[in-house]
Structure 1
Amino acid sequence: MKNLLCVCLISISAISVNSQSLPSLKVGPDNRSLVTEKNKAFFWLGDTGWELFHRLTKQEADTYLKTRAAQGFTVIQAVVLAELDGLHTPNAEDQVPFIDGDPDKPNEAYFKHVDWVISKAASYGLYIALLPTWGDKLYKDKWGKGPEIFDEATASSYGSWIGKRYKDTKNIVWVIGGDRTPRNETDVSVWRAMATAINRSAGGNHKTLMTFHPQPSQTSSSSPWFHKEPWMDFNMLQTGHCRDVDVWNKVQGDYTLLPVKPVLNGEPIYEAHPVCFNASEFGYSDAYDVRKAAYLSVFAGSFGFTYGCHAVWQFYAPGRDPVNGPLKPWNESLQLTGANQLRYLRQLMTEFPIIGLTPDQSVIDDPRDSTERIQAIRGKNFLLVYTAAGKSFKLNMGKITGSSLNGYWYDPRTGSRQQLPAVSNKDQQEFTPPSEGKDNDWVLVLRS
């Protein structure tokens, strides 16, 4: 018994240490980026594992987290009170979140499983963007399961409880909301009550990093309701699941707001998703759709990007009711092309100083639009230009330092490079990518 007790204590201690192994995140000094508590630049490459706590066993969660970490992801977005009947259908440990469905009676066994997953994520170097609840627990709308359990009082009490539970867990970013646009000031007040309570219990604004997950809309952003809230550290977009959305305009809509805050495209078009929820007419999205949304978002000013796979967010498996026609089970979808290609976006962006990046369309003579969009971002001595369809373009030079620039074409599909001869940094110069057309996107990299 004594030996068993020692083993248990060691196990508990290991979980505690793992959960603290990552530095906490905060807004960077430019108010455009995220950095660690040690002021190291951080690139958000997220995945939507919404049903992670609800549907996966420990072994399955370990497989999922290990795979995403190996693919270069840095953040997993997951929901405590899950969308798919998360209050009544037990998790893989046969537990529900609340006793008798009462949000003032948390079920410790359920939350121990959440604890374990968060700690396991930290052990793989992953942060958890933690949604305390999905939005249907406030407002079911036409498709939500609910039930609607939150008002200001219950939101505040639950926020206080969960904020206190995870106040010392450094690999958490708090995400209020959950795919619901506030209908009125009452909804805003409920979300505000939850956010404020979490902040207070977790130690104050300086101890938390927080945002809000909205629905697609004209702005597709959290900003119309919460931009000036003191708990709101960065804005999040959901640009939705249609093809060739003007993500650059939506990112820029928040990028130009005052006070200046970072912005993230936190739910774009997923891979292997029915385009516009209409597979019969538009088919399913692919890696090219994902790459375009990713590079156009980041080059417009998003401090990172969240990927999603339609089968993975719901962790679809045989025997489970499929949501909107996933093509194959989640474990067979982890290695989809897009999921493996986004590491090259992170690889590219972390080669350059993330703090101080500036989107700059003035450098492009004709930025085009829609399927052929061309988007540019620069620093003091480097310029990155993404061409979504490999179209030739002219640049107005002189925007970065140096009289002569070195350059190469960067392949978003493979991370490979094709070197260019030295380029004059004067007047207007024309550039022609190595290939053109659908699935032939490229990044021009110039530096002095």
Structure 2
Amino acid sequence: MQRTCLSLVCLLLCLITTAQFTVSDNKRFLLRNNAPFFYLGDTGWELFHRLNREQADYYLKRRSEQGFTVVQAVVLAEFDGLHTPNAYGDLPLENDDPAKPNEAYFRHVDYIIDKANEYNIVIGLLPTWGDKVFKSTWGKGPEIFTTENARQYGQWLAKRYRNKSNIIWITGGDRNPSNANDVAIWNSMAEGITAGYGTGTKPLITFHPQPNQYGSAEWFMKEDWLSFNMFQNGHCRNAPVYDKIQAVYNMTPVKPVMDGEPLYEDHPVCFNAKELGTSNAYDVRLYAYLDVFAGAFGHTYGCHDIWQFYSPYREAVNGPHIYWQEALELPGALQMQHLKKLMLSRPFLERVPDQSLIAEDHYGPAERIQATRGKDYAFIYTAAGKPFTVNGGKISGSRLKANWYNPRNGATISTAETINKGKLHFTPPTSGYGQDWVLILDDATKQYKLP
């Protein structure tokens, strides 16, 4: 009898451990242990491949301190991940065979996933970069996956990590399917991951595409394994990704959506630094707030020097500027926590995008004004500090409290209460390039605290 009880307890603990992430009832957000989860990601693509354990510990600890909740990393990495060994001299597979994983390599992956969990960091785990599935314009390959071994590999990974509480799965690896066979391979890998968890537990899985019109929804929207949709914006300035997010937000079946690879900080803009320069903190803030206010449930930040863990000892790509340890402290990275604090400061699961809040819905991305709200609060982002007009009566309350929130430092500036009807005019404290602001409007009776 005692042994039976212990077995039941062990089973219950296992289910609790593996069933941490779910999609909210309204299908718009992610939950962790039934609480709202704000996905604030960093692209640490080469984490398993290039860093040793001491370095990985330093990186994960610092990102945790900065408020990040997710790190996206690839098992079979982009930089010749099959044939250039990790920091300990280990390759991931024997003879490039997905059916023959190398235990020593995966012990290092195990260590990093566990270390991330210690710092309350979720790993957005990519089984492979896309050049292992098929060639596109870059990538060293070789192409090793078929529908059969993709399922086998996905199932093996899932069985290994299904009891880890800090895993969200990301297929795709920066490649768009070019034909039906490509789609079949990605479907097979995702189905293998699902099968690896067994009955009763559904893992969270998405797909990381290259830039396109509908992100992952273009191929996999109706697939049962696709838990939420993901975009990549292409590393150019002022692309209206918010419109694409809104389009997928309105699709059926309803699924959460986010930008999983925006313009990175310190990245050659459109891969053309000579003519367009490199991106800055304002560039990454602009995408973060516009995307989330357009309906995204979270956002991924990225840094050009960090995704590849630029150092004097490894191959570099596209002209990184500073070594990754220094790049951890770039201002855009430090400012992402202010977005998370703002979004979690009000009832999160009821939030919707709503451009009917504002009269000015015609500016381009550089001057865009984007609005989102709950039942008794609203956030309005003005990308360049342009004044705007709010249509009253969209949230509850006869009177509204108004505060300006500074995305650069998280500070607030209070303004006078106002009635909640008619046309309400607001002018940000400053305006111009890099002077973005968020107007916080609250039903005055709610007494919400400032972020």
Q: Give the equivalent residue in structure 1 for 2:284.
A: 290
Identify if the C-alpha distance between structure 1 residues 204 and 308 changes in structure 2 by more than 3 Å, giving closer, same or farther.
Answer: farther
Structure 1 unpaired stretches of 5+: 1-16
1:360 aligns with 2:354: yes
For residue 424 of structure 1, what is the amino acid of its counterpart? I
**Which digits, 9 at most, give the CA deviation of each residue in 1:124-170, with x for residues without a partner?**
00000000000000112121110100010110111111111111111
1:127 aligns with 2:127: no
Q: Give the equivalent residue in structure 2 for 1:4.
A: none
* Equivalent residue runs for 1:128-207 within 5 Å: 128-204=123-199, 206-207=201-202
Q: Give the equivalent residue in structure 2 for 1:30.
A: 26
In structure 2, distance between residues paired with 1:22 and 1:299: 30
**Which digits, 9 at most, give the CA deviation of each residue in 1:52-74, with x for residues without a partner?**
00000000000000000000000
In structure 2, distance between residues paired with 1:100 and 1:195: 23
SS at 2:332 equivalent: helix
Post-superposition shift, 1:407? 1.1
Q: Give the equivalent residue in structure 2 for 1:244.
A: 238
* Equivalent residue runs for 1:182-331 within 5 Å: 182-204=177-199, 206-219=201-214, 221-331=215-325
Post-superposition shift, 1:101? 2.0
In structure 2, distance between residues paired with 1:291 and 1:359: 18
Moved over 2 A (4+): 20-23, 203-207
In structure 1, distance between residues paired with 2:207 and 2:285: 24
1:442 to 434, 437, 447: 437
Post-superposition shift, 1:205? 7.4
SS at 2:100 equivalent: coil
Identify if the C-alpha distance between structure 1 residues 327 and 22 changes in structure 2 by more than 3 Å, giving closer, same or farther.
Answer: farther
Decide whether the 8 Å contact of 1:21 with 1:123 is kept in 2: no
Identify if the C-alpha distance between structure 1 residues 21 and 120 changes in structure 2 by more than 3 Å, giving closer, same or farther.
Answer: farther
SS at 2:223 equivalent: coil
In structure 1, distance between residues paired with 2:209 and 2:340: 25
Decide whether the 8 Å contact of 1:393 with 1:431 is kept in 2: yes
Name the stretch that deviates more: 120-129 or 100-109: 100-109
Post-superposition shift, 1:187? 0.4
In structure 2, distance between residues paired with 1:378 and 1:218: 26
Q: Give the equivalent residue in structure 2 for 1:384.
A: 379
**Which digits, 9 at most, give the CA deviation of each residue in 1:259-295, with x for residues without a partner?**
1100011100000000000000000000000000000
Identify if the C-alpha distance between structure 1 residues 304 and 73 changes in structure 2 by more than 3 Å, giving closer, same or farther.
Answer: same
Q: Give the equivalent residue in structure 1 for 2:5.
A: none
For residue 286 of structure 1, what is the amino acid of its counterpart? N
For residue 152 of structure 2, what is the amino acid of its counterpart? S
Q: Give the equivalent residue in structure 1 for 2:403.
A: 408
SS at 2:283 equivalent: helix
Name the stretch that deviates more: 392-401 or 153-162: 153-162
SS at 1:421 equivalent: coil
Post-superposition shift, 1:421? 0.3
Q: Give the equivalent residue in structure 1 for 2:6.
A: none
Decide whether the 8 Å contact of 2:391 with 2:424 is kept in 1: yes
SS at 2:329 equivalent: coil
Post-superposition shift, 1:319? 2.9
Identify if the C-alpha distance between structure 1 residues 21 and 117 changes in structure 2 by more than 3 Å, giving closer, same or farther.
Answer: farther
Post-superposition shift, 1:203? 2.2
Structure 2 unpaired stretches of 5+: 1-12, 444-451
**Which digits, 9 at most, give the CA deviation of each residue in 1:396-435, with x for residues without a partner?**
1100001110110000000000001001101001100000
2:101 to 103, 106, 110: 106
Q: Give the equivalent residue in structure 1 for 2:4.
A: none
In structure 2, distance between residues paired with 1:353 and 1:93: 46
Decide whether the 8 Å contact of 1:131 with 1:176 is kept in 2: yes
In structure 1, distance between residues paired with 2:335 and 2:172: 29
Decide whether the 8 Å contact of 1:410 with 1:417 is kept in 2: yes
For residue 69 of structure 2, what is the amino acid of its counterpart? T
Q: Give the equivalent residue in structure 2 for 1:428.
A: 423
In structure 1, distance between residues paired with 2:229 and 2:313: 37
For residue 438 of structure 1, what is the amino acid of its counterpart? Y
